Structures are given as C-alpha cells and as structure tokens.
Amino acid sequence: MSPSPRRTLSLRKKRLRRVPDDVWEQTDLESLVLSENELSAVPEQIGGLQRLRMLDLGHNRLTQVPESLGNLSELSDFLYLHGNRLTRLPSSLSRLTKLRYLNISENRFATLPDAVSGMQNLVELRVGDNRLRSLPDWMGRLSRLRELHLRNNRLTCVPESVGELRELRRIDLRGNPIEQLPPSLGRLPRLEKLDLRWVDTWLSPDWILDLEVRGCLVYR
C-alpha cells in the first residue's frame, strides 16, 4: 500500500490581510503555504496545527511571529520566514528540534536570534540581507549544519566556534565588511565552497590557499 499523500494547503498570492478562520480547523495539515500575501500578523491558533512539517510565511508584512509556533513539534522540513519585517523570534522556537531548514533572510535582525541555538537538527540556515554585526559563539552547537548563508549583512568577523561545524559544506559571506576570518574555518573537513565575493576589506590569509589546494572553491 502506497503512503497517503501529504495534506497540503496553499494560499499563496491571495492578497490576504488575515488568515481565514477555517484554516485553523484543518488540524491534519502537514504543509501550509501563506507566502506572498499582505499578512501583518498570524494568530496563536497556528500552534494547533500539530502535524505541520512545512510552514511558509515568507514575503508578508510580519513584525513578529506567535509564541505558539514553538508548539509545532513535528515541524521538520522547512520554516520560511524570509521577506518580512522581523527583528526577533520568540524563545519558544528553540523547541523546534526536528527542523532541518530555516530561512529568515530579508528581515531586520541585528543579532541572530537565540532561539536558533536549540534547532539542533538544522542542515541549512539562511540569514542573508539582515543587519547582523556579529555571530554568537553558540553557532558551534549546530553540529549538523551543512549550509550557512549570511550574505549582505554587516559582519566584520566570524567566531572561532564556526570551526566546530564539522559537517559544513558551504558558507556564503558575500557583501559583508569582513576584516578577519578564524583559522578554524580552514580546518573544516567537508567545506566545499567559501563565498567571499564583494568583500574587499580583508587580506587573504595563507590557509585560504590550503583550502583551495584541498579542492574547496573559494570565490573572491
């Protein structure tokens, strides 16, 4: 017997200003797409959609997301929050321990939200086009991370703890005013791509050449 198809609801590009009430009655949903609307808020009822594995709230007008998002314990595939007006994430999101992909690009984050530190299964993290000036030392806890996208922020350096991301394959630092990178970055055993295009504020260290000799593509 073939597996049952995933229960999906897409309300993309419907010019919605609010989420229809009947959405919250569909508690068997596994995928919910509300992207590219005119939503300025999402009600706490979203926390009742306990089977969600994918949630797309991208490209709306959100300045915050509800605490109840942390109740979506089965959210594992994707959480899209990009293209909004977010400056913080509720601490409850640290409970999304199954989540593998998080996109919070194109928002107004000045710091990487602490809630991300609890997302121990993240494989891909996208935080491009924000206002980050630094990265927290707890970055090294995201031990399964394979892709880290940070382009067009205000980063001048990267913490030594990034060297603990032993599964990292790709790191994108394009368009940041980078002044220095930690030598630990050059010791990442699986790094395949280091993107430093549009960065003209630093001097290339010797270990960059070692990375290239090893087969890592360094774009600069």
Q: Does residue 166 fall inside a structural domain? A: yes
pTM of the shown model: 0.95
Quick one: tokens of 17? 């200003």
**21: pLDDT strictly greater than 80:** yes
**Distance (Å, rounded) from C-alpha 151 to C-alpha 130?**
8
pLDDT at 98: 98
Residue 148 φ then ψ, to 5°: -130, 115
User: Residue 209 is part of which domain span?
Assistant: 8-219
Quick one: pLDDT band at residue 2, thresholds 50, 70, 90? very low
Q: pLDDT tens digits, residue range 91-140?
A: 999 999 999 999 999 999 999 999 999 999 999 999 999 999 999 999 99
**Distance (Å, rounded) from C-alpha 88 to C-alpha 106?**
13
Q: Does residue 1 fall inside a structural domain? A: no
Q: Does residue 36 fall inside a structural domain? A: yes
Q: Does residue 24 fall inside a structural domain? A: yes
Q: Does residue 213 fall inside a structural domain? A: yes
**5: pLDDT strictly greater than 80:** no
pLDDT at 1: 44
**Distance (Å, rounded) from C-alpha 41 to C-alpha 43?**
7
**153: pLDDT strictly greater than 70:** yes
What is the helix (H) or strand (E) element at residue 103, kind and residue range? strand 101-103
CATH of the domain at 41: 3.80.10.10
DSSP helix, strand, coil percent of the chain (3-state; round to 5) = 20, 15, 65
The one-letter code for the residue type at 44 is E
Q: Does residue 3 fall inside a structural domain? A: no
Percent of the chain with pLDDT over 70: 97
Q: pLDDT tens digits, residue range 189-213?
A: 999 999 999 998 777 888 899 899 9
Compute the average pLDDT of residues 10-33: 97
Q: Does residue 34 fall inside a structural domain? A: yes
The structure tokens 């706490």 sit at: 44
Residue 10 φ then ψ, to 5°: -115, 120
Provide the number of structural domains found in the chain: 1
Q: Does residue 101 fall inside a structural domain? A: yes
pLDDT at 4: 52
pLDDT at 206: 86
Nearest to 58 by CA among 92, 104, 7, 19: 104
